[in-house]
Structure 1
Amino acid sequence: MKVEDKIIVVTGAGSGIGRELALLLLQKNANIVGVDIHLDKLIETREMAKVAEDRFLAVSLDISNREKADALPLEVIKHFGAVDGIINNAGIIQHFIPVNDLSYEEINRVFNVNFFGTLYLTKAFLPHFLQRPEAHIVNISSMGGFIPFPGQTIYGAAKAAVKLLTEGLYAELKNTQVKVTVVHPGAIATNITENSGLGKPKMEANANQAKMALSPIKAAEIIVKAIENNKYRVTVGKDATILDLLYRLSPRMATNFIGKMMSKMKM
């Protein structure tokens, strides 16, 4: 789907990949509905883009609230007259601790935002997408959604659920005008740790991640290109691409390799 003149919802548009997606799509003459729990961050994004509300509608929303998610399509259509796509980008990580040490409160929070938030918005918008000449659903999973990372097991499980949800949607919608893409980013230079309410990572971890991390601008470029080429699946970053291949060749070897790498990191 070519993004020019399309109305596209971007969740997590107040920072990181979501912000860069919104800015890039606006440059390509799309109209954006920026969704984030932090309204002030959305306003920053709109100011950076130097556009008005007629191009960028800012909506403060907790995506894990199903009633509010269900109400969003009508708000979007009232403002823009239609809606053509969604990029379910918003997400949070867990504390870097084993499942045995995680509270059920945190487990539920991670699943509610990462999986159910994606599901709620997808179901809310899908009937409207099916009425459009063409539409696109993009769900951001993670490389943690296809290979396990010790200390992020629940996050990975939620992102694996996003992966299967998206692939199932593709199968169900392949004979319709609604295209579906699943995205697996690797390490991206964002502030997801702070946005997840976990504070700032330690300097050592920050330095190690920074060496490997892809810029959110580059990540956004890859994702938008995938939309315009109707890609089924895309990995973002060399680390995600290499680990994807390694996991396909030998899941156990790949899992052990990641375990060794994680044990060296001081979070």
Structure 2
Amino acid sequence: MKVTNKVIVVTGAGSGMGRELSIQLVQKGAKVALVDIQEEGLQETASLAGKDQVSLHVVNITDRDTVNQLPAEVIASHGAVDGIINNAGIIQPFVDVKDLDYAVIEQVMNVNFYGTLYMVKAFLPELLKRPEAHIANVSSMGGFIPFPGQTFYSASKAAVKILTEGLYSELKGTTVGVTVIHPGAVNTNIMKNSDVQSPGSATAAEAGSKILSAEKAAAIMIDGIERNKYRVLVGKDATMLDYLYRFNPKMAVDLIVKKMKKM
């Protein structure tokens, strides 16, 4: 689905990857509904993207009732909705399963998985009415290979992966395309937004890899959506680990553990 003249909803639009996605979508001629829990960040994104081309929606995506009201708000602002990019997400503290509080586990799952699910369920009836539409869900390379100390983050992103692939299978033959996106290490402020301190000098997802700029990552994502790709790997690290994990899952996990121990 070409994004020109389309109305796209982007979650997590107040900073980082969501901001860059929003800016580039507007540059390509789309109108964007900016969704984030922080109004200040939305205002900044709107200033950068172009206020005439966007609408601002302060939403906690873990609140199902609020999310259910969002499609009507977007349609009131833009007249229609043609696509959603479920980008919002948080990581967990770098803590092993045995030591991580249930409240933190639930928050990670609520934002990363249930937030994505609520958005899909809320918008899908409207998307099915459009001549063409698209759902893009941002998983992670942590969604297909685990990182020590980020087990529940990986589990939540694996759930997003399977949810998205299931949607693809269910929506074949309809006007709604579906793409799952697996970014590797990207230069965003997800750690700050998640209130997480890095172990040593790098995050788990950054270990041993060259960090991709948010600008380049967003361009890859949008290209994948426009080409209606089933799956998008963002960054050389994600591509390499995907290949290695398919070839030998245990070897791939052992490599990650080894790199993490050097941090």
User: Above 0.5 in TM-score?
Assistant: yes
Structure 1 residue runs of 5 or longer lacking an equivalent are none
**SS in structure 1 at match of 2:145:** coil
How far apart are 1:203 and its partner, in Å? 6.6
**TM, length-normalised to structure 2:** 0.96
Residue 218 to residue 8, structure 1, CA distance change in 2 (3 Å): same
1:138 alignment partner, one of 136, 139, 143: 136
Residues 189, 210 of structure 1: 8 Å contact kept: no
Which residue matches 1:60?
58
How far apart are 1:263 and its partner, in Å? 1.6
Which residue matches 1:42?
42
How far apart are 1:202 and its partner, in Å? 6.2
1:128 alignment partner, one of 115, 126, 141: 126
Which residue matches 2:174?
176
1:117 alignment partner, one of 115, 118, 124: 115
Which residue matches 1:219?
217
Residue identity (%): 59
Which residue matches 1:198?
196
**Equivalent residues in 2 for 1:26-41, closer than 5 Å:** 26-41=26-41
Inter-partner Cα distance in structure 1 for 2:142 and 2:105: 16
Inter-partner Cα distance in structure 1 for 2:89 and 2:150: 13
How far apart are 1:58 and its partner, in Å? 1.0
**TM, length-normalised to structure 1:** 0.95
Inter-partner Cα distance in structure 2 for 1:163 and 1:259: 22
Aligned partner letter, 1:184: H
Which residue matches 2:7?
7
Which residue matches 1:94?
92
**SS in structure 2 at match of 1:59:** strand
Count the aligned residue pairs.
261
Structure 2 residue runs of 5 or longer lacking an equivalent are none
Aligned partner letter, 1:35: V
How far apart are 1:127 and its partner, in Å? 0.2
Residue 114 to residue 46, structure 1, CA distance change in 2 (3 Å): same
Report the RMSD for the aligned CA atoms in angstroms. 1.3
Inter-partner Cα distance in structure 2 for 1:202 and 1:104: 21
Aligned partner letter, 2:25: L
Residue 202 to residue 253, structure 1, CA distance change in 2 (3 Å): closer
Aligned partner letter, 1:145: G
Inter-partner Cα distance in structure 2 for 1:23 and 1:65: 26
How far apart are 1:204 and its partner, in Å? 2.1
**SS in structure 2 at match of 1:110:** helix
Q: Describe the superposition over 1:26-63 as per-residue Cα deviations: whole angstroms up to 9, x where unpaired.
A: 000100001111110111011112x22x4110111110
